[in-house]
Chain A
Amino acid sequence: MTYIQSVIPWVPILPLFGAIILGLFGKKIYDTLGENVTGILGCLTPMISAILAFSAFFKMLSVETGNRIIQIPLTEWITVADFQIEWTFRYDPLSSVMIMIVTGIGTLIHIYGMGYMHKDQSFWRFFSYMNLFLASMLMLVLGDNLIMMFLGWEGVGLCSYLLIGFWFSEEANAVAGKKAFIVNRIGDLGFLAGMFLMIMYSSQLFGNVSLSFGEMQSRIGDLSQVTFWGFPLLEVIGLCFFIGAMGKSAQIPLYVWLPDAMAGPTPVSALIHAATMVTAGVYMMGRMYFLYSLAPHVLGFVSLIAALTCFISATIGMAQFDIKKVLAYSTVSQLGYMFLAMSVGAFSAGIFHLLTHAAFKAALFMGSGSVIVALHHKQDMRNMGGLLKKMPITGWSFIAATFAIMGFPLTSGFFSKDEILWKAFIQGSPTLWLVGFIAAGITSFYMWRLVFMTFFGENRSDEHTWEHCKEQPKRTVIPIAILAIAAITIGFLNVPHFLGGHSNFTEYLSPVVKDLSITPAEHYQNVLDTAQGKVVHESHVDHTALEWTLMVASVAWTFFTAFLAWFFYMKNPKAREYIMSGVWAQKIFIILYNKYYVDEFYEMVVLTPIRKLFLFLAAFDQMVVDGLVNFAGFLGRHLSAFIGLFDQNIVDGAVNGTAWSFQTGGKGFSFLQSSKIQTVIGTSIVIFIIVIVSFILYIG
Chain B
Amino acid sequence: MDHILSWVVFLPITVIPILWLLPANKAKWAALFITIVDFIVAIPLFTGFDRLKVGVDDLAGMQFKETLEWIPSLGIQYSLGVDGISITMILLTLIIGLVAVLASWNIDKLQRGYFAMFLLLQTAMLGVFVALDLILFYLFWEVMLFPMYFLIGVWGGPRRIYAAIKFFLYTLMGSVGMLLAIIAVWYYAPGGERTFNIIELLHRVQEGGTFVGPEIFGMPFAKVVFVAFFIGFAIKVPIFPFHTWLPDAHVEAPTAISVILAGVLLKMGTYGFLRINFPLFPEVFVWFQDFLVALAVINIVYGALCALAQSDLKKMIAYSSVSHMGFVILGIAAATTQGINGAVLQMFNHGTITAMLFLLVGVVYDRAHHRRIAGFGGLASVTPVYAAVTSIAYMAAIGLPGMSGFISELLILTGSFKVYQLPTIISGLGIIFGAGYMLWAYQRIFFGKLNPDYQDLKEINFVELCSVVPLIIITVYLGLLPNRIIVFFETSLNYLSEIL
| A77 and B482 form a contact (CB under 8 A) | yes
Chain A residue at minimum C-beta to C-beta distance from B486: A80
| Distance A154 CA – B245 CA, assembled complex (angstroms) | 35
| B401 and A151 form a contact (CB under 8 A) | yes
Interface flag for A675 (CB, 8 Å): yes
| B338 and A155 form a contact (CB under 8 A) | no
The A-contacting residues of B in range 378-437, CB under 8 angstroms, are 378, 380-381, 384, 388, 395, 400-402, 406-407, 410-411, 413-414, 417-418, 421, 424-425, 428-429, 431-432, 435-436
Residues of B within 8 A of A188 (CB): 431
| A169 and B449 form a contact (CB under 8 A) | yes
- Selected A-B contacts with CB under 8 Å, 15 pairs: A75-B481, A77-B481, A83-B414, A168-B381, A174-B448, A181-B439, A182-B432, A189-B425, A192-B410, A196-B424, A617-B305, A671-B161, A672-B162, A687-B176, A691-B176
| A625 and B439 form a contact (CB under 8 A) | no
Residues of B within 8 A of A147 (CB): 401, 410
Contact A699:B401 (CB < 8 A) given known A185-B432, A193-B428, A691-B180: no
Chain A residue at minimum C-beta to C-beta distance from B409: A192
Chain B residue at minimum C-beta to C-beta distance from A157: B400
The B-contacting residues of A in range 654-700, CB under 8 angstroms, are 671-672, 675, 677, 680, 683-684, 687-688, 691-692, 695-696, 699
| B483 and A78 form a contact (CB under 8 A) | yes
Chain B residue at minimum C-beta to C-beta distance from A200: B418
The A-contacting residues of B in range 144-191, CB under 8 angstroms, are 149-150, 153, 161-162, 165-166, 168-170, 172, 176, 179-180, 183-184, 187
CB distance from A495 to the nearest CB of B (A): 40
Residues of B within 8 A of A578 (CB): none
Interface flag for B37 (CB, 8 Å): no
A200 CB contact (under 8 Å) in B150, B243, B309, B417: B417
Given contacts A165-B447, A178-B440, A675-B153, 20 further A-B contacts (CB under 8 A): A77-B480, A77-B482, A78-B486, A81-B341, A158-B400, A168-B446, A177-B443, A178-B443, A182-B436, A186-B432, A189-B431, A193-B425, A196-B414, A199-B414, A613-B305, A629-B170, A671-B169, A677-B150, A699-B184, A699-B214
CB distance from A125 to the nearest CB of B (A): 8
The prevalent SS among residues of A at the interface is helix
Q: Which residues of B contact A (CB under 8 A)?
A: 149-150, 153, 161-162, 165-166, 168-170, 172, 176, 179-180, 183-184, 187, 213-214, 240-241, 243-245, 302, 305-306, 308-310, 337-338, 341-342, 378, 380-381, 384, 388, 395, 400-402, 406-407, 410-411, 413-414, 417-418, 421, 424-425, 428-429, 431-432, 435-436, 439-440, 443, 446-450, 480-483, 486, 490, 494
Residues of A within 8 A of B245 (CB): 629
Contact A675:B165 (CB < 8 A) given known A77-B481, A171-B448, A196-B414: yes
| B169 and A633 form a contact (CB under 8 A) | yes
| Distance A570 CA – B245 CA, assembled complex (angstroms) | 70
A625 CB contact (under 8 Å) in B214, B244, B413, B417: B244
Q: Which residues of A contact B (CB under 8 A)?
A: 23, 27, 75-83, 147, 150-151, 153-155, 158, 161, 165, 168-171, 173-175, 177-178, 181-182, 185-186, 188-189, 192-193, 195-197, 199-200, 203, 209, 229, 610, 613-615, 617-618, 621, 625-626, 628-629, 633, 671-672, 675, 677, 680, 683-684, 687-688, 691-692, 695-696, 699
CB distance from B348 to the nearest CB of A (A): 14
A675 CB contact (under 8 Å) in B161, B187, B308: B161
Which 3 A-B pairs have CB atoms at the shortest separation, nearest pair first? A618-B309, A174-B447, A626-B244
| Distance A680 CA – B145 CA, assembled complex (angstroms) | 12
CB distance from A216 to the nearest CB of B (A): 15
A618 CB contact (under 8 Å) in B310, B417, B428: B310
| A171 and B449 form a contact (CB under 8 A) | yes
CB distance from A103 to the nearest CB of B (A): 20
| A171 and B447 form a contact (CB under 8 A) | yes
Contact A684:B338 (CB < 8 A) given known A79-B483, A192-B413: no
Residues of A within 8 A of B183 (CB): 692, 695-696, 699
